[in-house]
């Protein structure tokens, strides 16, 4: 059984408890669950590592044709 299963079991049992700090304990367990489910940080990124590997075409900034947005079989709306 891993930590997240244990935290879920504790969370399920919290409402059966009756004591002064119930809401604080509930909040703490919720935070622990959120932290356990967050992705772990990987290796730090290296700026410029893949520089020059992708070269956009010369017409990259040109508007796309209507066929791109509307499909090949559209009625000509500009006429």
Reading the block at residue 58, the tokens are 């010369």
pLDDT, one tens digit per residue, over 16-74 is: 877 787 888 888 888 888 888 887 788 888 898 888 898 999 999 999 999 888 987 76
Which pLDDT score, from 0 to 100, does residue 62 have? 94
d(CA 75, CA 25): 62
d(CA 46, CA 52): 14
Which pLDDT score, from 0 to 100, does residue 59 have? 93
């Amino acid at each position: 059984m891993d930590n997240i299963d244990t935290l879920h079991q504790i969370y399920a049992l919290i409402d059966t408890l009756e004591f002064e700090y119930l809401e604080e304990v509930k909040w703490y367990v919720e935070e622990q669950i959120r932290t356990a489910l967050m992705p772990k940080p990987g290796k730090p990124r290296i700026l410029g590592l893949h520089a020059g590997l992708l070269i956009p075409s010369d017409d990259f900034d040109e508007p796309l044709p209507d066929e791109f947005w509307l499909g090949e079989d559209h009625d000509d709306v500009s006429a």
